[in-house]
Chain A
């Protein structure tokens, strides 16, 4: 399987803390990778490096479809097809729906003048087809502040979808969602696979992650503790290892026993 994204020897230090330490990580073509780990393991930092929001420490390399990228920025990442649905949802509460969908990449003519009509139209289309907003109370001009948690999630996911990502990353997407909203979210991940794209799925809830992923990568305290193909282990075996790595820092019982 060709890799669509590869990180080699990526570290990230904030002040005195090494959030990531010599991480090697890759995502294959049309592969769903579950990124698991405790709070503080470095999952969000890793993902923010992939989106170009953070720069890796010197020595770290990022490859997209085999080609090295020297200085990945947020606009660059989006151009090549990397999209993310952030844990914080990254929405602007007091602004309208259409402004949030097009946050940071407004449709403009050459001089920067907004094409508000087009953005409203596109939003209207997305609302009924993807987001499932059928009620007439919600319009492209509705303020996002009035939306529920699941609806906001829908906005953030729609935003990623619309811009036709090659690699979609979801950081704790099911947090705060109801049952049916969670199902919608997991269906969305399955949809990414069906569409031939790749996905990185971060979630604490292993029960959500396990069914939809192809491969599991476990981060612990800034390094890759281990990785498994889904068919290598059952859900219970995975849970076992996750508890163990949180307690001891190693995934496998034999390695823990030798400590």
Chain B
């Protein structure tokens, strides 16, 4: 009897190899990788002059991190089923805090620490408003976006400031220098933050709680996960990385524009969603986000190098984003 039952059970099972299971599990990431490679190959074919030389890659490695870095902790926020729209203003707020501390003390390091702390505080404020007061993150972070921009404008009197003083410290080569003389440090920081985020998301209890809280907040709470604390920490991380990146951007220009940051909002968010993180929470990868960021970054230079009008850029962005999300939806339904 037992063997007949087992035989019946086994007959129902569709035999899948390890490879098939691997493909199923990582379908979204594999699809994105294929799309990214195809796009790159397309540009390589249409504009070989540009894409066969190192310059374009150098440029991509220099500038993509400016929105890709924040997209990494933003991935955690979206996995936990929240959103943060305030980070562009927080980027500027960090450097404003730096200026506020640097002006009286003339210490770049104290200013830098103040910059990072300012980010933590902004993140904490977001977290507390959203978790303790229960205001939806979409609305709360629109509010704090205006708030911090206002703080920046007021404290800077709407004026920019030079940041030449950072050249004298190790912070300059550390954040904006070149590794081995060729690879921009900005890109290295994306790798560093990416690896650290991947580790905590996948190998640490903190990451497990992020996935669980985003997947089913009630279940997580019922089973004793401290959902509130986990959420607040993710918002703090966004604030911290935002100010770090703001400092990096200003350092690379050796100038602080109080309006900086706004241009990165949509690119950062698009990177997260293009990378396969679901707006419904519970799933997402750091790899997808970083790859998504570079796919977005390569579009515009690719279009221009291929000889088309730059006006096509936004059309292509929209096209790629909609197609990718549709593909993700189909893959989710079929495989996962």
Residue in B9, B204, B212, B215 whose beta carbon sits within 8 Å of that of A114 in the complex: B204
Of the candidate stretches B54-62, B180-188, B222-230, the one touching chain A is B222-230
The chain B residue sitting closest to A145, CB to CB, is B336
Tell me, yes or no, whether A43 is within 8 Å of chain B by CB.
Answer: no
Tell me, yes or no, whether B282 is within 8 Å of chain A by CB.
Answer: yes
How many Å from the CB of B66 to the closest CB on chain A?
31
Query: A94 with B283: in contact, given A74-B224, A88-B219, A135-B10 (CB under 8 Å)?
Result: yes
Cα–Cα, bound, A248→B51 (Å): 83
Tell me, yes or no, whether A17 is within 8 Å of chain B by CB.
Answer: no
Tell me, yes or no, whether B334 is within 8 Å of chain A by CB.
Answer: no
Could you mark each residue 212-238 of chain B with 1 if its beta carbon is under 8 Å from any beta carbon of chain A, else 0?
100110111111110000000000000
Cα–Cα, bound, A94→B225 (Å): 17
Q: Hey, which chain A residues are within 8 Å of B14, CB to CB?
A: 137
Contact B203 A116, beta carbon cutoff 8 Å? yes
Instruction: Kindly identify, within residues 99 to 119 of chain A, every residue whose CB is under 8 Å from any CB belonging to chain B.
Output: 99, 103-106, 108, 112-114, 116
Cα–Cα, bound, A135→B7 (Å): 9
Tell me, yes or no, whether A148 is within 8 Å of chain B by CB.
Answer: no
Cα–Cα, bound, A90→B217 (Å): 9
Q: Hey, which chain B residues are within 8 Å of A112, CB to CB?
A: 204-206
Tell me, yes or no, whether A210 is within 8 Å of chain B by CB.
Answer: no
Tell me, yes or no, whether A91 is within 8 Å of chain B by CB.
Answer: yes
Chain A contributes a number of interface residues (CB within 8 A of B) equal to 31
Tell me, yes or no, whether A75 is within 8 Å of chain B by CB.
Answer: yes
The chain A residue sitting closest to B283, CB to CB, is A94
Tell me, yes or no, whether B179 is within 8 Å of chain A by CB.
Answer: no
Q: Hey, which chain A residues are within 8 Å of B215, CB to CB?
A: 92-95
Tell me, yes or no, whether A12 is within 8 Å of chain B by CB.
Answer: no
Residue in B6, B12, B282 whose beta carbon sits within 8 Å of that of A92 in the complex: B282
Tell me, yes or no, whether A136 is within 8 Å of chain B by CB.
Answer: yes
Q: Hey, which chain A residues are within 8 Å of B218, CB to CB?
A: 88, 90
Q: Hey, which chain B residues are within 8 Å of A94, CB to CB?
A: 211, 215, 282-283, 336
Contact A136 B336, beta carbon cutoff 8 Å? no
Cα–Cα, bound, A137→B25 (Å): 14
Tell me, yes or no, whether B208 is within 8 Å of chain A by CB.
Answer: yes
Q: Hey, which chain A residues are within 8 Å of B205, CB to CB?
A: 106, 108, 112-114
Contact A103 B223, beta carbon cutoff 8 Å? yes
Q: Hey, which chain B residues are within 8 Å of A134, CB to CB?
A: 6, 9
The chain B residue sitting closest to A92, CB to CB, is B215
Cα–Cα, bound, A51→B208 (Å): 22
Tell me, yes or no, whether A182 is within 8 Å of chain B by CB.
Answer: no
Tell me, yes or no, whether B13 is within 8 Å of chain A by CB.
Answer: yes
The chain B residue sitting closest to A105, CB to CB, is B224
Cα–Cα, bound, A90→B212 (Å): 11
Contact A103 B225, beta carbon cutoff 8 Å? yes
How many Å from the CB of A118 to the closest CB on chain B?
13
Instruction: Kindly identify, within residues 247 to 284 of chain B, every residue whose CB is under 8 Å from any CB belonging to chain A.
Output: 282-283
Cα–Cα, bound, A96→B165 (Å): 51
The chain B residue sitting closest to A77, CB to CB, is B224
Contact B224 A78, beta carbon cutoff 8 Å? yes
Contact B6 A53, beta carbon cutoff 8 Å? no
Instruction: Kindly identify, within residues 53 to 109 of chain A, every residue whose CB is under 8 Å from any CB belonging to chain B.
Output: 53, 73-75, 78, 86, 88-95, 99, 103-106, 108
Instruction: Kindly identify, within residues 5 to 27 of chain B, every residue whose CB is under 8 Å from any CB belonging to chain A.
Output: 6, 9-10, 12-14, 25
Tell me, yes or no, whether A227 is within 8 Å of chain B by CB.
Answer: no
Cα–Cα, bound, A114→B203 (Å): 5
Contact B211 A92, beta carbon cutoff 8 Å? yes
Contact B219 A135, beta carbon cutoff 8 Å? no
How many Å from the CB of B223 to the closest CB on chain A?
4
The chain A residue sitting closest to B282, CB to CB, is A94
Q: Hey, which chain A residues are within 8 Å of B206, CB to CB?
A: 112
Contact B10 A136, beta carbon cutoff 8 Å? yes
Cα–Cα, bound, A91→B216 (Å): 7
Contact B13 A103, beta carbon cutoff 8 Å? no
Tell me, yes or no, whether A143 is within 8 Å of chain B by CB.
Answer: yes
Cα–Cα, bound, A134→B7 (Å): 11
Cα–Cα, bound, A105→B206 (Å): 11
Instruction: Kindly identify, within residues 123 to 143 of chain A, every residue whose CB is under 8 Å from any CB belonging to chain B.
Output: 134-137, 141, 143
The chain B residue sitting closest to A73, CB to CB, is B224
How many Å from the CB of A169 to the closest CB on chain B?
12
Cα–Cα, bound, A74→B227 (Å): 13
In the A-B complex, the 6 residue pairs with the smallest Cβ-Cβ separation, listed nearest first, are A104-B223, A74-B224, A92-B215, A104-B224, A94-B282, A137-B13
Pick 25 A–B contacts, CB within 8 A, sort by A: A74-B224, A75-B224, A88-B219, A89-B219, A91-B216, A91-B219, A92-B211, A92-B215, A93-B215, A93-B216, A94-B283, A95-B211, A95-B215, A95-B282, A99-B211, A103-B223, A104-B212, A104-B223, A105-B223, A105-B224, A106-B205, A112-B204, A112-B206, A116-B203, A135-B10
Interface residue ranges, A against B (CB under 8 Å): 51, 53, 73-75, 78, 86, 88-95, 99, 103-106, 108, 112-114, 116, 134-137, 141, 143
